[in-house]
């Protein structure tokens, strides 16, 4: 990825931090993920979200992260718990994650000529968005599970 695109992406990510945090707040409060986590096993919930955050460092694309979430849900536990909106934690996290992905990546595309962003650059940019989103999500889960 060239320096100009990387710098532009970093600028957008910094500028859109509140959008990411607001979406995570919505996920926790309105979707009910926070309550579902708080009602469960605190250590296991923290560990599962830490594993997801750590997976971003090893992932080669966001689809791997989505697959990781689906796999965790299939095993049961915290990911399968139902939230106040009737969906599982895994489904709610996936929906929120993809909403942020699409919105923030779209803004990066607007600041740059989206048609000139290569497939490899898009993959890398989306992973950078994932790192930020999942890092903030882990912090929020840790706070929610302690209260």
What is the tally of helices (H) and strands (E) in the chain? 7, 0
Task: Indicate whether 129 pLDDT > 60.
Answer: yes
Q: Is 105 left (phi over 0), alpha (psi -120 to 50) or beta?
A: alpha
Place of tokens 């605190």: 42
8-state DSSP, 78: G
| 71-89 pLDDT tens trace | 999 998 889 999 999 999 9
| 53-68 pLDDT tens trace | 999 999 999 999 999 9
pLDDT at residue 144, rounded to an integer: 85
Task: Indicate whether 114 pLDDT > 60.
Answer: yes
Max avg pLDDT among 11-25, 46-60, 112-126: 11-25
The per-residue pLDDT of the chain, averaged, comes to 92
- Angle, helices 89-111/119-146, rounded to nearest 10 degrees: 140
For 38, residues 6+ apart whose C-beta sits below 8 A from its C-beta are: 144, 145, 147
Strand partners, 88: 82
pLDDT at residue 113, rounded to an integer: 87
Kindly report the pTM of this predicted structure: 0.92
């Amino acid at each position: 990825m060239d320096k100009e695109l990387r710098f532009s992406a970093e600028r957008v990510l910094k500028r859109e931090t509140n959008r990411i945090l607001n979406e995570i707040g919505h996920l926790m409060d309105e979707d009910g993920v926070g309550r579902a986590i708080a009602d469960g096993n605190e250590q296991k919930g923290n560990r599962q979200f830490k594993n997801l955050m750590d997976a971003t460092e090893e992932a080669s694309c966001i689809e791997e992260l989505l697959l990781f979430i689906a796999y965790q849900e299939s095993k049961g536990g915290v990911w399968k718990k139902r939230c106040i909106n009737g969906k599982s934690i895994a489904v709610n996290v996936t929906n929120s994650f993809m909403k942020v992905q699409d919105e923030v990546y779209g803004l990066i595309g607007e600041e740059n000529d989206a048609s000139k962003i290569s497939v490899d650059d898009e993959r890398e940019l989306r992973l950078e968005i994932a790192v930020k989103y999942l890092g903030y999500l882990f912090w929020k889960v840790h706070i929610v599970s302690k209260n």
